[in-house]
Structure 1
Amino acid sequence: MANVNEWFKNRVAVLATMHQKERAIAPVLESELGVKVQVPANFNTDFFGTFTREIKRLGTQIEAARLKAEKALEITGETLAIASEGSFFPHPAFPFVSCDREILLFLDKEHNLEIIGQEISPETNHSHKTIKTVQEALDFAQKVGFPEHGLVVMVSVKSTDHEEIFKGIDTEETLIEAVETALRKSPDGTIHLETDMRAMYNPTRMKVIEIATHNLIKKIHQQCPQCFCPGFDLVERQSGLPCGLCYAPTSLILLDIYQCQRCNYREEKRFPEGKETADPAQCIYCNP
């Protein structure tokens, strides 16, 4: 099977979602791989964790996506599944900037393949605030792209009771009602307001999911040079790029190692960043 599409063409790909992620994912997968994307009915992904923290995520981001994909296959009887999982945290290079990391896990039980695409983007409205008044809520809403982007109102940031959490707020009327209700329930006169990061209430996040889907397609089309299996991907990075002045090894990346998950063929790619030496400023000997 030299052509990647022959591995997946005309197969049903089950998308493990309840948050309308098919709007971003399905068109890309169907046009690029020839699969037919289906969303299982009544599939509750909240079981695997919620952004509002009343249900803790099961495992790491990748582990949670894998669990969702496996469950979708279990309940449908299909052999091909896709699951998405998002996470929001300070950007690795810019700690004061919040970023969105979207993982797409592609699980093929027929060929025993797992391929992961991702996107890390600073494009997010992820935000929260403690407020005391309806006007403060309206001011916050204006800053985060409401009503196109939904909001969540919580009596407390530690709320786990469903009666103290109001999700999917996308009109001024429902926002005011939720804020007034939460303030009446609040023991100290303050409540917690945050952006609703579920995909169907967050078009900015939905765009990042689409970008991650294209990254997944790229990974799938990376075929093993030996057996042509899809998903020939990076498994290890090794430092040691030599200093341009003294040629001592530095902490910068010297080579990337790719491996096939089917035949285990490995290939080293030297100088993956396009530079054969490091700036002496990065050398512990030239710049101790």
Structure 2
Amino acid sequence: MSEAADSYREATIVFATRHGKERQAAAPFHAQLAAHVIAPDEIDTDQFGTFTGDIERTRTPLRAALDKALLGTALTGRPYALASEATYTTTWGVLARHHELLLFHDRHRQMTLTENTVVTVRGHGTTTVAGAEDAQAAAVRFGFPATHAVALIDDGTGIVARKGLADTDALPAAVTELLARGAPVHIGPDYRR
């Protein structure tokens, strides 16, 4: 192992995420470096923008990931951080381009490393639904519940989103709640899960 890599041996690395991504990184970092990957309890990465648009994304994916990593180091006092940023582009309503950026930041060395991957996944845009049954049928088409759902409206004051809908109770409840606000409800895949 190189001297640089050896400096990360048995380190604690903070993954600046609120969506459980630290669990995906834990095994590889432990296997290669005996390092421990943790996530801060109270981190708000959504402040840098959300995929549903309820909080506008104003940064590039690289800048958003770096800002997340810097927030993780600030909250925990740890010098090493991971962060990620994903974007999806739907083409022709059938396929989606998934671009995932993973970033590692070393505060001591002021060094940032990135890894990118782009894959094509089964994609669907959003579908406007009239009720809970409609929403269930739309969600099944994109693989629900294995692929979680998102329900959202634009009520004139901004986008309101319910994300991570994972079961047949949560989806109709979210749709019913949003329909009561008097705006059309749109259902789509939540690719984070």
- TM-score between both structures, scaled by the size of structure 2: 0.87
Q: Could you tell me which amino acid in structure 1 is paired with residue 52 of structure 2?
A: T
Q: Give 1:71 deviation, angstroms.
A: 1.1
Q: State the secondary structure of the residue aligned to 1:155.
A: strand
Distance 1:159 1:99 in 2: 30
Residue in structure 2 matched with residue 138 of structure 1 by the alignment: 136
Q: Give 1:135 deviation, angstroms.
A: 3.0
1:195 aligns with 2:189: yes
Larger radius of gyration: 1
1:184 aligns with 2:176: no
Structure 1 unaligned runs (5+)?
A: 203-288
Residue in structure 1 matched with residue 100 of structure 2 by the alignment: 102
1:72 aligns with 2:72: yes
Residue in structure 2 matched with residue 147 of structure 1 by the alignment: 145
Q: Give 1:121 deviation, angstroms.
A: 0.8
Change (3 A) 1:137 1:109: same
Q: Give 1:19 deviation, angstroms.
A: 0.2
Is the contact made by 2:48 and 2:57 (CA closer than 8 Å) also made in structure 1? Answer: yes
Residue in structure 1 matched with residue 45 of structure 2 by the alignment: 45
Distance 2:185 2:49 in 1: 22
Is the contact made by 1:88 and 1:126 (CA closer than 8 Å) also made in structure 2? Answer: no
Alignment counterpart, residue 172 of structure 1, candidates 162, 168, 175:
168
Residue-pair matches, total: 193
Distance 2:29 2:19 in 1: 17
Q: State the secondary structure of the residue aligned to 1:74.
A: helix
Report % sequence identity.
27
Distance 1:5 1:134 in 2: 52
Task: Give RMSD over aligned pairs.
Answer: 2.5
1:117-149 Cα distance to aligned partner (Å, 9 max, x none): 111011254531112233321211111121122
Q: Give 1:111 deviation, angstroms.
A: 2.4
Distance 1:118 1:151 in 2: 25
Is the contact made by 2:95 and 2:122 (CA closer than 8 Å) also made in structure 1? Answer: no
Distance 1:126 1:108 in 2: 37
Q: Give 1:196 deviation, angstroms.
A: 2.0
Is the contact made by 1:157 and 1:192 (CA closer than 8 Å) also made in structure 2? Answer: no
* Pairing of 1:133-282 with structure 2 (within 5 A): 133-156=131-154, 160=158, 164-187=160-183, 190-197=184-191, 199=192, 202=193
Change (3 A) 1:124 1:10: farther
Distance 1:22 1:145 in 2: 25
Distance 1:126 1:96 in 2: 6
Q: Give 1:58 deviation, angstroms.
A: 4.0
Distance 2:122 2:113 in 1: 25
- TM-score between both structures, scaled by the size of structure 1: 0.60
Is the contact made by 1:130 and 1:193 (CA closer than 8 Å) also made in structure 2? Answer: yes
